[in-house]
Structure 1
Amino acid sequence: MMIWLLAGAMLLVATGCICYLLLVPANRNNLSAGQSAERMNTTLYREYVSELERQYPAENEADRRQLLVEAQRQLLMDEQQGGARQVLEKQGSTLLIFVSAVLMVLAVVLYAHLGAMADVQIRDLLEDQTPGADAVLRSALLQRLEQKEDSYYYWLLLARLELNNDHPEQAVTAYRKAHKLSPQDAGTTAELAQALFVQAGHQLTREVERLVAEALKLDLNNTMALELAGIAASSRGDYQSAITFWQRAVELETTGSPNALVLKAGIARLQALLNNGTQGVDNGVENKEAGENIESNEKVLLALRIELAEQVRDSLIDKPDSTLFVYVREWQGPPMPLVAQRFTVADLPVEVSFTDAMSLSAGRKLSTVNQLEVIARISDSGNIVATTGDIEGRLGPLSLVDKTSYSLIIDQRLP
């Protein structure tokens, strides 16, 4: 924005210089010319009067006076015309200044509506990491999309922003807009599938599976689609297909990256299930490492005791079947939970434990995240998406390095 303010200031200075060069010398020249013409007219008048006095003796006084009156009248007319000319020239200068100012204002207004000023603002907001910047960015994107409804890029930005801020329904709406504008983009198709997966409470729906297949048809190397395809295959019990999908994703990941290691651990777990629950085959170092990964997956990383606060307990006496969602996600990170469990109010108080083996995504394990947030929410409707009237409790940030056992109180009713 500072660049455009400087550009505007430079434009203003340039316009001022042009007006100065056009007007000030012109005014000086006009003034000099006017004074010269006035002096010349006066000199000519005096010479004419002297000539009349020489040509007309006293006995022709009447004729001389008549000619003198005509000469005075002509001198007066010349002076009046010179003054009128200066007035017109002054008015022309004023008009030039007015037109220049109007053109500048018009240029700014037209640029604000037809130019890229809003795009520059959005670019600056994307780089802004201060608290509350996401809300300002969301408002700017919505406003810009009212003007450019066919902007694929802005719909995609809005969708990602909504998903990162735990608004899966709004994210799905924006992703559908982007997907409609670019149906052949594998990345957008896979991201829409992921948003629908989150919206459905991390359940695989027919639409999610259809979109995953569509994304892989467009790009066999889309890692997000490969990961979701592996989850879908694993949920059907088709472990070999899941392993194939995740192995392909590992090949596309950077060697030694956290995501690649997590995927390898998931592959090892599924391989063990294929081997009737063994922790790896007894051949070689690779199978030994796979067994170690499986053992690590079963280790309890986080234990919780969840109970109701006194102020909300009475309102749930008649609702023992209301759903209790308990999920763990990265503190101030993506909204997609790392692990989740489902209970009812009748189960409270309840002891809950989480391991890497319970991870909802093979690409993101509980043990790979430094800080966590736990959310326990009671929903009468059974909807995973938070709604007015739900009761919840939150705990975070938590570190698995310092402590693994915590207590969580459900005490807040959502407005």
Structure 2
Amino acid sequence: MTLLWLAFAVLLLPALWLLVAPLRRAAALRAAQRDFEANDRTAEQNVAIYRRRLASLEAARDRGDIDAARFEEDRLELERSLLDDTAALERPPLKAAAAGKLLVPVLMVALVAASVVWYRLEGAEGDLALYGVQQELAADPEATLPMLVQRLEEQAARQPGNPNVWRSLFPLYRDSGRAAEADAALTRLLELEGRQPWLLAELAQLRYFAADRELTAGVQALVDEALAADPGQPTVLGMLGIEAFENGDYQAAIDNWRRAIAGMNDPASADALRQGIQVAQQRLGQGGQAGDPAAAGEGPGIRVRVSLAPELAAGVADDTAVFVVARDLAGELPPLAVARTTVGELPQVLTLDDGDAMAPMARLSQVEQARLVVRVSESGQAGPRPGDLFGRHDAVAVGETDGEPVEVVVDKVVE
């Protein structure tokens, strides 16, 4: 920001110079005007012209071309014209060259102050600060996702009215499994930018997955509002396709996913939906019986060994739920695979594959690498809550499941 203000100062210098420049030339201009007025012969020329015209009138009267009454009228007209010309030539006395010089610094200060106020109101200082934070952490080889979230949260506290801050925080919260914070970020975005269909769709999808893929009354209200504003909203239609698929209504799933693809700009997401349509068509043709790779759990996967750090094991009941979740690295898809176990079963080796997919368009076989998150949830809910325990592995290759398992240790606490 220091460089930005220095750049503004450099840009203001020419404007300030233009304010000072007339004062620097004032003495020369005054001298030139004084010489001009001293040597001006316009009044003498006007008098000479008056006398010539008056002489012509007298000659015309003496010859009898005009009578005395006409002569008097024309003479009065000449005199009035001379008086008008003489009055136009009257000039006020010249002011001193330094007159008004105190106004210049006042105008300079006013110009600088107005520029600063205008930028504060209309400029993008907050966005530049946000960009600076993101670039700083991108260039730091030791930067981590929690560090980025913390710095963005600091920006949110400083500029709560900047929608770009919340737009940056939302996907980070969502991909970190912090559903409550992601919900709050989206709610704030709705307050700042209005109830736009894409925001309503994102919030509906977030709450749908947070509710373990249940189309609650609140989610349905968001879906209805989004579709009323944009009947082809792809996020909502994709979610409705998942709901229909899981309820066995494969034809409705196909219809919703086809409509979603028509409004999508992301080729990867569209391809995922096309694969889901193929699975739904297979199940529709087979009466919903298993037989496709997604249903049978065939294909590539991840073998993972889950354990709980000894220092965190005390006080955790054996029947506490443990969720093992695989996600795509970009965080653009629903969870690719979810498995559930309990603390009493740990340490345990699990195999995640397409049979553990939450939705047909989001499967492990679609990606080459995945991100693993293991969460110990005392509430029994997949969404994280303060006090939950978790561990993660940022990049795991998806492939054969007969090799050595990937080790994930639950050694952190959700704050």
> Normalised by the shorter chain, which TM-score bucket?
0.5 to 0.7
Aligned in 2, Cα 1:252/1:24: closer, same or farther, shift over 3 Å?
closer
For 1:314 and 1:4, locate their aligned partners in 2 and report how far apart those are by CA, in whole Å: 55
Structure 2 residue 21 is matched with structure 1 residue 12 = no
Structure 2 match to 1:305: 305
1:186 deviation in Å? 2.6
Structure 1 match to 2:43: none
Aligned in 2, Cα 1:29/1:216: closer, same or farther, shift over 3 Å?
closer
For 1:180 and 1:109, locate their aligned partners in 2 and report how far apart those are by CA, in whole Å: 28
Structure 2 residue 363 is matched with structure 1 residue 365 = yes
Structure 2 match to 1:342: 340
1:99 deviation in Å? 0.8
Please tell me the residue identity of whatever aligns with 2:120. Answer: H
Structure 1 match to 2:373: 375
Q: Partner of 2:315: helix, strand, or coil?
A: helix
Aligned in 2, Cα 1:108/1:117: closer, same or farther, shift over 3 Å?
farther
For 1:120 and 1:181, locate their aligned partners in 2 and report how far apart those are by CA, in whole Å: 15
1:228 deviation in Å? 0.5
1:208 deviation in Å? 1.9
Aligned in 2, Cα 1:261/1:26: closer, same or farther, shift over 3 Å?
closer
1:4 deviation in Å? 7.2
Please tell me the residue identity of whatever aligns with 2:13. Answer: L
Structure 2 match to 1:247: 258
For 2:166 and 2:205, locate their aligned partners in 1 and report how far apart those are by CA, in whole Å: 16
For 1:267 and 1:136, locate their aligned partners in 2 and report how far apart those are by CA, in whole Å: 41
Structure 2 residue 276 is matched with structure 1 residue 266 = yes
Deviations 1:31-88 (A, max 9, x none): 9xxxxxxxxxxxxxxxxxxxxxxxxxxxxxxxxxxxxxxxxxxxxxxxxxxxxxx9x9
Structure 2 match to 1:38: none
Structure 2 match to 1:103: 110
Aligned in 2, Cα 1:244/1:358: closer, same or farther, shift over 3 Å?
farther
Structure 2 residue 233 is matched with structure 1 residue 222 = yes
Deviations 1:299-324 (A, max 9, x none): 251122212233333433xx122221
Using the TM superposition, name which of 6-15 and 162-171 deviates more. Answer: 162-171
Deviations 1:124-176 (A, max 9, x none): 56985843666555554554444x7xx7x776566456435654323323433
Structure 1 match to 2:85: none
For 2:136 and 2:397, locate their aligned partners in 1 and report how far apart those are by CA, in whole Å: 24
Aligned in 2, Cα 1:126/1:327: closer, same or farther, shift over 3 Å?
same
Flag structure 2 segments of 5+ consecutive residues without an equivalent. Answer: 32-94, 139-146
Q: Is the 8 A contact 1:374 1:396 kept in 2?
A: yes
Please tell me the residue identity of whatever aligns with 1:412. Answer: K
Q: Partner of 1:315: helix, strand, or coil?
A: coil
Structure 2 match to 1:197: 208
Structure 2 residue 233 is matched with structure 1 residue 232 = no
Q: Partner of 1:211: helix, strand, or coil?
A: helix
Q: TM-score, normalised by structure 1?
A: 0.67
Structure 2 match to 1:400: 398
Structure 2 match to 1:171: 182
Q: Is the 8 A contact 2:167 2:189 kept in 1?
A: yes
Structure 2 match to 1:322: 320
1:119 deviation in Å? 5.8
For 1:15 and 1:181, locate their aligned partners in 2 and report how far apart those are by CA, in whole Å: 38
Aligned in 2, Cα 1:26/1:247: closer, same or farther, shift over 3 Å?
closer
Please tell me the residue identity of whatever aligns with 1:229. Answer: L
Please tell me the residue identity of whatever aligns with 1:269. Answer: V
Aligned in 2, Cα 1:361/1:96: closer, same or farther, shift over 3 Å?
farther
Q: Partner of 1:320: helix, strand, or coil?
A: coil
Please tell me the residue identity of whatever aligns with 1:273. Answer: R
Using the TM superposition, name which of 235-244 and 123-132 deviates more. Answer: 123-132
Q: TM-score, normalised by structure 2?
A: 0.67
Q: Is the 8 A contact 2:208 2:216 kept in 1?
A: yes
* Aligned positions of 1:88-99 closer than 5 A: 93=101, 95-99=102-106
Please tell me the residue identity of whatever aligns with 2:187. Answer: R
Aligned in 2, Cα 1:125/1:226: closer, same or farther, shift over 3 Å?
farther
Deviations 1:269-325 (A, max 9, x none): 333434145678xxxxxxxxxx5x658863251122212233333433xx1222211
